[in-house]
Amino acid sequence: MVRLDEESGRREGGGGMEGCEPKQGCGPGGGGSSLGGSDPKTKASNIAQKAAQEAKAANDAQMAAAEAAASQVKIQLAEKALQSARAAEAALAGKQQIMEQLDGEHREAEAVVQDVSNSLQNTQANAVAANDAANEAKTQLGKLKQLVQASISNLANIENVSNGAQQELAEKTQLLEAAKNRVESLARQLALAKQDFEKTKKAAYKAACSAVEAKQKAQRSRRRTGGPAQGSL
């Protein structure tokens, strides 16, 4: 916005303000609107328009009085123009505040619409999934009914097979007991054989060690007596 105090000083020293644009309707007879009405937007617009008209009228009057009036009249006219401009700025600030408020409400409404749209999409997806699950459950129920009917039809055969299996189980149990006894007997025999093998292995190792020791003693004895070395045993 224009700094009005600085503009006022320029007007007092320079002898007049820059004229408003003709399309704004400034001037003594220029299209003043009624301030009535309950709409705050219309009221603010009317205030701004009238303030602009008053500022233009004051400026025109100041320019007309510059040649004939005293400096005090010029100052009064400049102050009136400044007050009108300030009123216009206040009206503009009010309209800007209304615009910002409406913009915020518009953004909030858009966010609500987006949330509702997303929720609707999720609900539709859940409904489709629930319908698919219901169809799958119906299919599985039909398959289970078929299995139940087949099981009832085969129950007699299953009982016969069960009786035969029990008889076979008894026979195999007897065979298993006999096999276990055989395994235990073989395990005992194997343990005895391992013990005998270890004893024989130790005896053979001792015999080999004794033979090596005897050979080494014989070789040392020959070296001391100076005799020729004999071949290996």
Give how far Cα 41 sits from Cα of 36, 79, 93, 107, 172, Å.
12, 27, 12, 20, 102
The dihedrals phi and psi of 182, each to the nearest 5 degrees, come to -60, -40
Q: Which of 35, 74, 34, 39 is nearest to 58 (CA)?
A: 74
Q: Count other Cβ atoms within 10 Å, centred on residue 206.
A: 10
pLDDT tens readout for residues 180-210:
999 999 999 999 999 999 999 999 999 899 9
pLDDT of 124 reads 87
Q: How far apart are CA 47 and CA 93, in angstroms?
A: 12
How high is the mean pLDDT of the chain? 76
- pTM assigned to the model: 0.30
Contact 62, 78 (CB under 8 A): yes
Least confident of 28-32, 62-66, 137-141, 162-166: 28-32
pLDDT, mean of residues 42-46:
77
**CB neighbours of 77 closer than 8 A, spacing ≥ 6?**
58, 59, 61, 62, 65
Band (123; pLDDT cuts 50, 70, 90)? confident
Provide the 3-class DSSP secondary structure of residue 201: helix
* Residues, the chain: 233
pLDDT tens readout for residues 83-121:
888 888 888 888 888 988 998 899 998 899 898 888 888
Give how far Cα 142 sits from Cα of 138, 153, 158, 177, Å.
6, 17, 23, 47
Structure token digits, residue 5: 């105090």
